[in-house]
Amino acid sequence: MRIAIIGAGRIGGGIARQLGAAGHELMLSFSREPAKLAELAGQLGARAGTGSPAEAAGFGEVVVISVPWSTLPQALEQAGPLAGKIVIDTTNQFGGPPLPPAGQTAAVFNAARMPGARYTKSFNTLTSAFQAETAGRTGDQRVVQWLCGDDAGAKQVVAGLIEDAGFAPADLGGTAGCAVMEAPRRPGAVYGEEYRAADAAPVIEAVRAGRPIPPAPSYA
């Protein structure tokens, strides 16, 4: 697929590396140092074009948005309309404002900032170093990337990309019910915790039933 990356830093650059290795076509964008962006694109066999988020969003069937929270308004303004695009939002609500009002997930808040986009959220719960180290694990060691969104077709595509990136997708449901995959790290949440597919299933069941999730697993 054609994948646009808006913010090819630690997380966005890692996703670009993983999806590029899986054969997807990439365009990187959004940097204060265009030469650095072009160099990374060269290393990954990706395009950088002019570095403009609008150009990348025009190229991508899927748009990965991976910028610091406080930079998101600027990145979205530069991207222009994302209506019809499958979006993967990796951001966490550190910084701001604007911040989601109490009781609203960051996913609901951000989806509203991208009108018409086929919004999903993923790749946000584990550190970039851990993601880079564990991508491609096989069998029952494969690490989960949680996923939420309100567009089932978009989530199906993103679940495939999560597999291609070397992880196991675990769909928590809609954006309104995904608080457990959002910052901060705390008991009763999956944010910041390693999960493998077998331990993800009871979490999905609990979230969908509106129950507290089981304690986070720990792996030797």
Ligand X SMILES: NC(=O)c1ccc[n+]([C@@H]2O[C@H](COP(=O)([O-])OP(=O)(O)OC[C@H]3O[C@@H](n4cnc5c(N)ncnc54)[C@H](OP(=O)(O)O)[C@@H]3O)[C@@H](O)[C@H]2O)c1
- Interactions with ligand X, residue window 55-94 (CB under 6 A): 66-69, 71, 74, 90-92, 94
If one asks whether residue 49 binds ligand X (CB under 6 A), the answer comes out as: no
Q: At what angle do helices 152-165 and 10-21 cross, to 10 degrees?
A: 80
- The number of residues that bind ligand X (CB under 6 A) is 25
If one asks whether residue 53 binds ligand X (CB under 6 A), the answer comes out as: no
Minimum distance of ligand X from residue 95's CB (angstroms) = 8
Residue 180: which of 139, 140, 210 has the closest Cα? 210
Q: Which residues is 146 bridged to in the sheet?
A: 170
Which one, 12 or 49, has the nearer CB to ligand X? Answer: 12
What span, in angstroms and rounded, lies between the C-alpha atoms of 19 and 26?
A: 8
Q: Which residues is 88 bridged to in the sheet?
A: 64, 120
If one asks whether residue 110 binds ligand X (CB under 6 A), the answer comes out as: no
What span, in angstroms and rounded, lies between the C-alpha atoms of 28 and 8?
A: 6
If one asks whether residue 31 binds ligand X (CB under 6 A), the answer comes out as: yes
If one asks whether residue 127 binds ligand X (CB under 6 A), the answer comes out as: yes
User: Angle at the Cα of 95 (from 89 to 100), degrees rounded to 5?
Assistant: 65
What span, in angstroms and rounded, lies between the C-alpha atoms of 213 and 205?
A: 8
Minimum distance of ligand X from residue 162's CB (angstroms) = 14
Minimum distance of ligand X from residue 79's CB (angstroms) = 12
Minimum distance of ligand X from residue 191's CB (angstroms) = 9
- Positions touching ligand X (CB under 6 A) are 7-12, 30-33, 36-37, 66-69, 71, 74, 90-92, 94, 124, 127-128
